[in-house]
Amino acid sequence: MGKKNLLQNPCAKDGLHHWEVIQSGGDGFKCEDEPSGCKKLSECCKIKHELPCWCTSHDPCLKKQVVNLLSGDVDPKALDERKRPITVRDWYCSRGDCGAEYEIKASLLADDRTTVLDSWAFKDKLEAGADWKKVKHVFKDYPAGVRYVEFVHGGTDTQNWAGHFGVKMTNSAVLIGQKIKKREKRSLKAAGKKNLLKNPCGRDGMAGWEVTENGGNGWKAEDSAEGCRPFKEANPEAEGDACWATSFDMCMKKQRIDLGFAGIVGDYLDDQRPEIRVSEWCGSRTDAGSEYHLLVRLLNSDLETVDKREVTKTLQADGQWHKIEESFIDYGPGVRFIEYSHGGKDSCFWQGHFGVKITCSSVTVATESGHDSSSSDDH
C-alpha cells in the first residue's frame, strides 16, 4: 500500500516525455529499455520487473519536471497546516567500465512556480561498477504556501568518453504522506472486512449505544420484530429478527467509531480517501405509520464535522422493511471518527412502541479498494 507517485514518466518508459532537458552535454541523454553495462536494478532493490533508465554522456546532462502537488487530490490545508511530508527519491548507478558523477536538486515552489520556499541538493561521485543507490529526502517543517516541487537530476561520466558512459537514473518519485507500515497494512485489511458498529441489530439491547433522546416510552429492543413482516423475509442474509422499536415521541441514539482504534490509520485516510459505506434497515408496523431519521457525520480529531449524510423517511403502516444506503467518497482530509445517529417515532402518538423499527446497521470502510491502487514508495 503505497502513495501515488506525482512524477510523470518516472523511469524512462516514455523516453523524455514530461521532462524538460535543461542541459544536454556531450551526446545528450539516452533512454535504455534495459540498463546496459551495469548491474540489474533487481539485484539492488525489490522490484517485480526490470525498469528502463536514462543514461548521461561526457558533459553534464540535466533535466527537470515541475510537479503540481494539488493535482494528486491533496487539500491545501494538508500542506499549509498539517505539513504532510513531501518525499523525493531517485535511483542511480555507474557503468562497470566508467565512473560517473550524479546530482539531484529538489525545490519547493510557491503558487507562482518561481518563489523557492525550501530546497535540498545532493551530489555523488561513483567509481566504475558501483551498485544502484537510492537517494531520498523528506521535506517536513516547510513554510506555508508550497504548491509545486521542481525535481532536477542528471550527471556525467568521469572519463570524458564519447557516447553514453555517464550516470544512469531511474525510478524517480515525488510522494506526499507517510509510508504505511506492514503492521498497519494488516490492520487495514482486517478493518475492511468488518462492520465497525458494535451491537448493530439490537440482540444485546442498547449495549454499545448512547441514548440521546428517549421520548414517549423510550427505546425497546425486540428479539423478534413485532407487528410487521419478519425481517428475515425482507433480508434472508440476516442472522436473526432482532431490532429496536421507537415510541410516540422522538427516540434517538448514537455510536461514535474511533477509526484509529479500529485499525484505520489517519495517514491512510488522508492519502487514499477510501469509500465509507453506511447502511441499515428500517420498518413500520401494519397498524401505525412512522418517521425515520439517520445522521452520519465524519469528524476530525477535534470532533468537528468534515462531511455528513442525513436521511429522513416517512413510512406507511404497511409492515414493510426498507434498506437505507449511503456512502462517503470525496470527503476532506482529517477524518478520524464516524458518529452514527439514528431513530424516529410513530406518526399516531400512541402509547407503547408503535414507532419505526431499526436493525442491521452497518459502517464499513473499503480499505481493500485502495490497497493495490498506487505504486510503492519503497523502491
Terminal CA-CA length for the chain = 12
**What letters, b where the CB count within 10 A reaches 16 and e where it falls short, cover 223-243?**
eebebbbebeebeeebeebbb
Burial of 266 (C-beta count, 10 Å sphere; 0-12/13-18/19+): middle
| Averages of pLDDT over each 10 residues, the chain, 379 residues | 80 97 98 92 79 96 97 80 91 97 98 97 97 94 96 98 98 84 72 92 97 98 96 92 97 98 87 91 98 98 97 98 95 93 98 98 80 39
In whole angstroms, give the CA distance from residue 28 to residue 62: 9
* Short-list 167, 185, 141, 212, CA closest to 32: 167
Angstrom distance (rounded) from CA 18 to CA 15: 9
Backbone angles phi, psi at 26, to 5 degrees: 60, -125
282 is written with which cell numbers? 428500517
C-alpha separations of 364 from 37, 39, 166, 193, 204 in Å: 51, 46, 52, 8, 20
Q: Helix or strand or coil: residue 328? A: strand
Number of H helices and E strands in the chain, helices first, is 4, 20
At residue 167, the pLDDT reads: 98
Q: Which segments of the chain are extended strands (E)?
A: 20-24, 30-32, 53-55, 61-68, 86-93, 100-109, 116-126, 133-139, 148-157, 168-176, 210-214, 220-222, 243-245, 251-258, 276-283, 290-299, 305-315, 321-328, 337-346, 357-365
Grid cell at residue 321: 422493511
Tell me the C-alpha distance between 47 and 377, whole Å. Answer: 11
Check residue 180 and give its pLDDT.
Answer: 65
Give the pLDDT confidence score for residue 217 in this predicted structure. 98
Look at residue 359 in the predicted model and tell me its pLDDT. 98
What is the edge-to-edge ordering of all strands in the sheet holding 148-157? 20-24, 61-68, 148-157, 100-109, 116-126
pTM of the entire structure? 0.62
- C-alpha span between 286 and 317 (Å, rounded): 5
Domains and CATH numbers, the chain: 20-177 (2.60.120.260), 183-370 (2.60.120.260)
Q: If we measure between CA atoms, which residue out of 286, 256, 277 comes closest to residue 357?
A: 286
Cell of 49: 520487473
Q: How far apart are CA 1 and CA 371, in angstroms?
A: 5
The cell for 172 is 524517480
- Quickly tell me which residue has 519503497 as its cell: 378
- What local confidence, expressed as pLDDT, does residue 4 receive? 80
Question: How far, in Å, CA of 154 to CA of 128, rounded?
Answer: 17
Give the DSSP letter of residue 272. Answer: H
Give the pLDDT score at 270.
83
pLDDT at position 361, please? 98
User: Are the CB atoms for 307 and 359 separated by under 8 Å?
Assistant: no
